Structure 1
């Protein structure tokens, strides 16, 4: 179950407006995830991730790596 939750959080951060260059705090990352899931829902986040990988695969890979790492840090137990 935790892996699925992490996947949803990662997808939400990926499609959020938050940028790595903003050097967001862990609190800001958590807020961006919560806001994005509330706004788009789980399926909406997944659909936008797929769209971005289809349209910009070269950029999407780096953003997904950052999102996954940021979510792990922000939501560490």
Structure 2
């Protein structure tokens, strides 16, 4: 898998998790949430869940995805 695709999938997995910006974050917490959701939904299921959230909460989705991308980058650095 191309590095960018892997980062995007990880961000999607964090996006659909219960992890919030206000949580005390550690790299281990982020990686565990990502792993759980990748196993739970798979790549296609993650994309479907993200699309669902964008449809239901478009006012929040862009900000959350931006946060997820940055958080994943730090957690997997």
TM-score (norm 1): 0.94
Large movers: runs of 4+ above 3 Å: none
The number of equivalent residue pairs is 76
Correspondences of 1:20-59 after superposition (within 5 Å): 20-59=21-60
Higher helix share: 1
TM-score, with normalisation over the residues of structure 2?
0.94
Equivalent residue runs for 1:5-20 within 5 Å: 5-20=6-21
5+ long unaligned stretches in structure 1: none
